[in-house]
């Protein structure tokens, strides 16, 4: 069981990235991770194992 809820962490990461951009004018390099998380959640995919080359998620066949 995870100590933190990943959805809550991603929500906080979005806020942090927005604050960072406002403060520095630069993007915080986490947009890819947020996008992958969103796609997996919205499309109900299964995350690939860490280090799986060339893909981030696997379809469920549904």
Query: Is residue 31 situated within a structural domain?
Result: yes
Structural domain containing residue 15:
6-58
Q: What is the pLDDT of residue 59?
A: 92
Q: Which of 61, 57, 15 is nearest to 36 (CA)?
A: 57
Q: What is the pLDDT of residue 46?
A: 94
Looking at the structure of the chain, the number of domains it has is 1
Query: Is residue 48 situated within a structural domain?
Result: yes
The strand ranges marked E within 1-62 are 46-47, 57-58
Q: What is the pLDDT of residue 25?
A: 97
Query: Is residue 10 situated within a structural domain?
Result: yes
Q: What is the pLDDT of residue 52?
A: 86
Q: How many CB atoms lie within 10 A of CB 1?
A: 2
Phi, psi of 32, deg, nearest 5: -65, -45
Q: How many CB atoms lie within 10 A of CB 40?
A: 17
Query: Is residue 41 situated within a structural domain?
Result: yes
Tokens representing 33 are: 């991770």
pLDDT band (50, 70, 90) for residue 1: low
Residue-wise pLDDT for 4-60, tens only, equals 899 999 999 999 999 999 999 999 999 899 999 999 999 999 999 988 888 999 998
Query: Is residue 1 situated within a structural domain?
Result: no
Structure-token match 């469920």, residue found = 60
């Amino acid at each position: 069981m995870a100590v933190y809820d990943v959805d809550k962490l991603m929500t906080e990461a979005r806020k942090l990235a927005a604050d960072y951009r406002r403060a520095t004018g630069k993007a915080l390099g986490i947009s890819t991770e947020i996008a992958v998380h969103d796609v997996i959640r919205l499309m109900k995919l299964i995350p690939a194992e860490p280090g799986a080359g060339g893909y981030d998620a696997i379809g469920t066949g549904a």
